[in-house]
Structure 1
Amino acid sequence: MAISPTLQAAFETQGNREFATAKAYFAMACWCEARNWSGFAKLFTVQTSEEQEHAHQFFHFLVDRDVSPEVGSVPAPTSKFSDLIAVAKAAFDLERANTAAIHALYELALAEKDYAAQAFLHPFLLEQVEEEAWTDKLLDKTRQANCAGGLFNLDRHVVREVLGDQAK
């Protein structure tokens, strides 16, 4: 089943966005690890893998639609942060931008009446609800832990505290 060139380009863009997000989470993990925030580093490492998997899914969807997708270059992410709150805010912003992009892609799939693309995107729409929820929680908890002891305690439990039952 053919996919329109416009929708193909939009899927390629989203696949590349997912790779860029993975790279951004990896930069956050490295920043945290370099400062001995191992819990935060683990959280962002988990997210790195998840975003890479999402990118693969977008590109494989195109392959399944008989398209040889173009994987584009990914710009270098921000790798300098002033503190853990800035890192949490960067994750928060990343997920809100990704939500807007997924919504725009879904709108395009609706406009083009591409039912397979719409169905493919349903799990990503729901995923973004979860992504926004955990980044909101992460930012709130990081702001609340406004002393060294609070941050130390949060770092020890951040994966379970933020991701809960979905923690890997």
Structure 2
Amino acid sequence: MSVPHPEVVSLLEKQLTHEFHAAQAYTALGYWCDVQHWSGYSQFFHKQAAEERTHAARILQHLADRDVVPQIGALAAPKKDYEDLEQCAQAAYDLERNNTRGIHEAYAVALKHGDFPAQVLLHWFISEQVEEEAWSDKLVAKTKRAACAGALLYLDRHLEKELSGTGGGGE
């Protein structure tokens, strides 16, 4: 298989670093929620952290399959203190928007260089990001609407049930 153009490699490595950063940020969000006793939100953010690590692995494998030893960028420590669940939900939305921008940038460069394998990889990510942005937008909206403690407790329990598979599959 052909080695990708250096500009494509650079942007895939940048996206790889974004995915690892998002995994760390979701882990930090999960533990903040855990300490605050929001177990549904905590489980949800830990699930997202695992998903981001899987996304990073997908990029790593793509590069390795094309004879590129990936350069993983340095990761800054994620934010660990939040004022409330609304701020956590907004942080998740911002992470997903940032990932989408990086994926779109990498895809545009893959198109420019005619890198079909990278385009296929990134097309999967583009589709995935539609889903990621949709859930994060809904999480922000639902958290804002649930502004009182009783409604937030209900939403937290709802997330917990959804993640345990006993929630009935709806939103």
Q: Which residue of 2 aligns with 1:97?
A: 98
Runs of 4+ residues deviating >6 angstroms: none
**Contact 2:11–2:105 (8 Å) recurs in 1:** no
Q: Which residue of 2 aligns with 1:71?
A: 72
- 2:116 is equivalent to residue 115 of structure 1: yes
Distance 1:103 1:139 in 2: 23
Instruction: Deviation per CA, 1:107-130: give whole Å up to 9, x if none.
Output: 010011101110111110000000
Q: Which residue of 2 aligns with 1:31?
A: 32
Q: Which has the higher contact order (CA 8 A, sep 6+)?
A: 2
Q: What SS class does the counterpart of residue 69 from structure 1 fall into?
A: coil
1:134-145 matches, within 5 Å, as 134-145=135-146
TM-score (norm 2): 0.92
Query: Closer, same or farther in 2 for the Cα pair 1:111/1:165, shift >3 Å?
Result: farther
TM-score (norm 1): 0.94
Count of matched residue pairs: 166
1:145-164 matches, within 5 Å, as 145-158=146-159, 160=162
Distance 1:54 1:24 in 2: 14
1:48-67 matches, within 5 Å, as 48-67=49-68
Distance 2:9 2:133 in 1: 26
Q: Which residue of 1 aligns with 2:132?
A: 131
Deviation at 1:102, TM superposition (A): 0.6
Distance 1:142 1:153 in 2: 11
Question: What's the % identity of the aligned pairs?
Answer: 45
Distance 1:3 1:53 in 2: 22
Distance 1:106 1:68 in 2: 20
Cα RMSD of the aligned pairs, angstroms, is 1.8
Distance 1:47 1:146 in 2: 23
Q: Which runs of 5+ in 2 are unaligned?
A: none
Distance 2:141 2:71 in 1: 38
Distance 2:113 2:169 in 1: 37
